[in-house]
């Protein structure tokens, strides 16, 4: 296993009135290539801020973020933009696609931005979309695609540049159950198969079964790291849970949810 | 194709209805601006054309006339004095009056400027067909091209002029011996006759024959060295009493109402261009506001600011170019349907200036939206920014 990501005592503070608010407090963890991790926690726990820092969209107040051996915190704005374009794949909760580009053009956009839109790149984009079950719809515009199809195109776009790190922010937020499972399972499988490192922020308890690890954040800190195998039973049956207080996980309707599969 | 151009063209093509609609708004502004410019040119040309094309370097007025042609009287003695000043090559008396040409068949008469000139002297226009004036006091005329077209006259035809003498309208028959290019004065096409003939025909409070040596309104002066305009102007004023000499531009700019008319039209055009800036700016600003999440997402996946700005500029330029092209063609097409008596003149220079101004208002109007795009935080894609 190769180390893809390492965070060392990462802190992010925001000015608030006369003082500051600490959104992320001394967070340290690491990710191996081929590992898919779910980042969970209630609203305000700092997970989205953490994701934004991993995506080089925010600078940490202190600490280090190292991806593929490169410290992001010492990079200039232009270097971070270039790094993000080449080494990080991103899937958002919504507004994922450029509305006036077809699915295929959205995927190819990443190749264009990196100056790699050649015959091989085009072929790779088509193959990736076929792999994601989009062979019939790759020339449709986003408004002609369902939410699940849009997210699959977004996943293809996040993977087309063969990034080291794939980030997904609530990728199933606007999807029904069936499509949500399809999307996350596909994302997890591709991260495993293509040997990327993947982090998914989610509020949906059912989706963590596809993660190799769950990093649980609370009040800006990593509360604990758990594995779905250990804890899905606990999550599904609060009465049997002796390890994790369910209400701290930040899952929507966690007490009623059934573990998938 | 660069990423910026690819994004710009794809967005325009996939939203072509919206962009075409906006190009049509730009086209309408273009038609408005071009027509105001053409009207300005037409009105200006109608007032100044004869004086602008005059084959003279200086125009001499009576000093108390304050450069108003109808108020100016320069008699033969003064004309001779002007001609004797060293450095003056030639002089010619010019008289102006308003008369009409009866059109027959119950049609409205054609109002024209009757301009009296000395045959072969400064003031007589060159002919494009026929011959120039030769005989002093002959009943011969040169008509400008517009009169020839509107009154259906050719060289050798008889031309009838109606002029008010006392309380009666009198008719005068003249023979057309030449046709000049367009030489409008006072927004009317012109008929040129010998100055003695002019003095006989011109409207007078009391009917009577013309004088042997009639007083004219102004004297056209040709110089030996046109480069010595200012020194010669001062020399003439010093040597000949009670005159004021000016160049052609000053002469036509002093035509009553000319400056006010041109200022009004320039103001209208400036406002039309300002409206264009605001409309284009407003359109692109609204479009940018609608696209904030998408711009945030583009930045979040690593699209450089330069690419986003270049795509926006490309779109603005394309929309403006298409709008200006459609508007220019529409303006040209519409102008063909206008009757000849409407003073609309599409002059290449003023038309080109209007088109360049219109092409500039797009980028100027879109600057605010481009600046706004550049300030969109990529964090909005994550819901962390606004």
Q: Across residues A98-121, what is the average pLDDT?
A: 94
- Both tokens of A67, joined, read 């991806």
Please give the pLDDT value at position A260.
34
Alpha-carbon dihedral angle through residues A128, A129, A130, A134, given to the nearest 10 degrees: 160
Give the other-Cβ count within 10 Å of B234's Cβ. Answer: 11
Residue B152, φ and ψ in degrees, nearest 5 = 55, 55
A142 to chain B: closest CA residue: B14
Query: For residue A40, is pLDDT > 50?
Result: yes
In chain A, residues with a C-beta closer than 8 Å to the C-beta of B375 are: none
B119 shares its domain with B18: no
- For residue B307, the enclosing domain spans 3-48+259-382
Who has greater pLDDT, B342 or A230?
B342
In chain B, residues with a C-beta closer than 8 Å to the C-beta of A109 are: 3, 301
- Per-residue pLDDT for chain B (386 aa), expressed as one digit of tens each? 589 999 999 999 999 999 999 999 999 988 988 888 888 888 888 888 999 999 999 999 999 999 999 899 998 888 999 999 999 999 999 999 999 999 877 788 999 999 999 999 999 999 999 999 988 878 999 999 999 998 999 999 999 999 998 888 999 999 999 999 999 998 899 999 999 999 999 998 876 666 666 789 999 999 999 999 999 999 999 999 999 999 999 999 998 888 888 888 889 888 888 888 888 888 888 888 888 889 999 998 989 999 999 999 999 999 999 999 999 999 988 888 887 777 888 878 878 888 888 888 878 888 888 888 888 888 877 777 65
Q: Across residues A146-160, what is the average pLDDT?
A: 90
Give the other-Cβ count within 10 Å of A205's Cβ. Answer: 27
B78 shares its domain with B198: yes
Please give the pLDDT value at position B359.
85
B132 shares its domain with B233: yes
Please give the pLDDT value at position B330.
93
B152 shares its domain with B185: yes
Is the distance from CB of B112 to CB of B101 less than 8 angstroms? yes
B65 shares its domain with B97: yes
Please give the pLDDT value at position A258.
37
Please give the pLDDT value at position A182.
83
Segment among A136-145, A234-243, B78-87, B317-326 with least mean pLDDT: A234-243
B79 shares its domain with B219: yes
B269 shares its domain with B164: no
What burial class does residue B85 get, using C-beta atoms within 10 Å of its C-beta: 0-12 exposed, 13-18 middle, 19+ buried? middle
Q: Is A197 left (phi over 0), alpha (psi -120 to 50) or beta?
A: beta
**Domain count within chain B:** 2
With bands split at pLDDT 50, 70 and 90, how would you rate the model's confidence at A232? low
In chain A, residues with a C-beta closer than 8 Å to the C-beta of B15 are: 100
B3 to chain A, closest Cα gap in Å: 6
In chain A, residues with a C-beta closer than 8 Å to the C-beta of B7 are: 98, 101
Name the average pLDDT for chain A: 85
Query: For residue A117, is pLDDT > 70?
Result: yes
B201 shares its domain with B277: no
Domain end, chosen from B254, B277, B310, is at B254
B33 shares its domain with B129: no
Strands A197-201 and A36-40: parallel
B120 shares its domain with B204: yes
- Name all domains of chain A by residue range, CATH numbers in brackets: 3-251 (3.40.50.300)
With bands split at pLDDT 50, 70 and 90, how would you rate the model's confidence at A231? low
Domain end, chosen from B254, B276, B301, is at B254
Please give the pLDDT value at position A251.
55
Query: For residue A256, is pLDDT > 60?
Result: no
Domain end, chosen from B214, B235, B254, is at B254
Please give the pLDDT value at position B269.
83
Please give the pLDDT value at position B287.
85
B102 shares its domain with B240: yes
Q: Does B317 touch chain A (CB under 8 A)?
A: no
**Inter-chain contact B3–A141, Cβ cutoff 8 Å?**
no
Is the distance from CB of A87 to CB of B377 less than 8 angstroms? no
Q: Does B166 touch chain A (CB under 8 A)?
A: no
**Inter-chain contact A94–B296, Cβ cutoff 8 Å?**
no
Please give the pLDDT value at position B113.
95
B102 shares its domain with B164: yes
Alpha-carbon dihedral angle through residues B140, B146, B152, B157, given to the nearest 10 degrees: 10
Q: B171 has which bridge partners?
A: B162
With bands split at pLDDT 50, 70 and 90, how would you rate the model's confidence at A160? very high
């Amino acid at each position: 296993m190769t180390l893809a990501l390492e965070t060392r005592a990462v802190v992010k503070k925001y000015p608030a009135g006369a003082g500051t608010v600490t959104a992320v407090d001394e967070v340290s963890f690491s990710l191996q290539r081929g590992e898919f991790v779910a980042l969970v926690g209630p609203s305000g726990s700092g997970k989205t801020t953490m994701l934004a820092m991993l995506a080089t969209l925010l600078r940490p107040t202190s600490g280090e973020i190292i991806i593929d051996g490169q410290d992001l915190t010492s990079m200039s704005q232009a270097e971070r933009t270039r790094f993000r374009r080449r080494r990080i794949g991103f899937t958002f909760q919504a507004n994922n696609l450029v509305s006036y580009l077809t699915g295929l053009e959205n995927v190819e956009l990443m190749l264009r931005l990196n100056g790699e839109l050649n015959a091989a790149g085009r072929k790779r984009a088509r193959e990736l979309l076929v792999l994601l079950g989009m062979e019939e719809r790759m020339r449709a515009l986003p408004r002609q695609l369902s939410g699940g199809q849009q997210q699959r195109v977004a996943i293809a776009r996040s993977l087309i540049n063969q990034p080291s790190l794939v980030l997904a922010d609530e990728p199933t937020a606007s999807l029904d159950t069936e499509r949500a499972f399809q999307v996350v399972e596909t994302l997890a499988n591709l991260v495993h198969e293509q040997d990327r490192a993947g982090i998914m922020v989610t509020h949906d308890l059912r989706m963590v079964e596809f993660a190799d690890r769950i990093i649980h954040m609370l009040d800006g800190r990593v509360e604990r790291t758990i594995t779905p195998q250990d804890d899905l039973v606990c999550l599904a049956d609060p009465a049997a849970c002796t390890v994790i207080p369910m209400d701290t996980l930040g899952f929507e309707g966690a007490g009623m949810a059934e573990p998938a599969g | 194709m660069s990423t910026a151009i690819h994004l710009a063209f794809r967005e325009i093509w996939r939203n072509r209805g919206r962009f075409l609609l906006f190009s049509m708004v730009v086209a309408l502004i273009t038609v408005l601006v071009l027509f105001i410019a053409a009207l300005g040119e037409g009105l200006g040309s109608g007032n100044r054309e004869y004086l602008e094309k005059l084959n003279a370097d200086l125009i001499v007025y009576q000093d108390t006339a304050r450069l108003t042609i109808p108020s100016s009287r320069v008699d033969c003695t003064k004309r001779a004095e002007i001609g004797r000043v060293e450095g003056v090559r030639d002089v010619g008396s010019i008289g102006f009056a308003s008369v009409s040409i009866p059109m027959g068949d119950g049609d409205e008469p054609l109002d024209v400027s009757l301009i009296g000139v000395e045959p072969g002297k400064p003031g007589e226009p060159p002919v494009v067909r026929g011959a120039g004036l030769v005989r002093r006091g002959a009943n011969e005329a040169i008509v400008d091209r517009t009169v020839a077209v509107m009154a259906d006259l050719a060289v050798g035809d008889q031309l009838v002029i109606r002029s008010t003498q006392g309380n009666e309208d009198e008719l005068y028959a003249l023979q057309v011996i030449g046709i000049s290019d367009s030489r409008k004065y006072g927004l009317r096409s012109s008929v040129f006759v010998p100055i003695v003939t002019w003095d006989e025909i011109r409207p007078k409070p009391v009917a009577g024959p013309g004088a042997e040596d009639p007083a004219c309104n102004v004297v056209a002066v040709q110089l030996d060295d046109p480069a010595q305009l200012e020194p010669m102007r001062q020399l003439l004023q010093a040597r000949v009493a009670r005159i004021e000499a000016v160049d052609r531009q000053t002469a036509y700019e002093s035509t009553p109402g000319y400056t006010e008319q041109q200022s009004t039209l320039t103001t209208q055009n400036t406002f039309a261009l300002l409206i264009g800036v605001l409309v284009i700016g407003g359109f692109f600003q609204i479009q940018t506001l609608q696209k904030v999440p998408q711009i945030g997402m583009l930045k979040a996946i690593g699209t450089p600011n330069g690419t986003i700005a270049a795509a926006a500029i490309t779109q603005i330029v394309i929309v403006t170019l298409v709008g200006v092209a459609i508007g220019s063609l529409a303006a040209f097409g519409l102008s063909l349907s206008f009757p000849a008596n409407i003073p609309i003149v599409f002059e290449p220079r003023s038309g080109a200036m209007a088109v360049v101004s219109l092409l500039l208002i797009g980028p100027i109007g879109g600057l605010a939206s481009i600046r706004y795009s550049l300030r969109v935080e990529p964090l909005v894609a994550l819901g962390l920014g606004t």
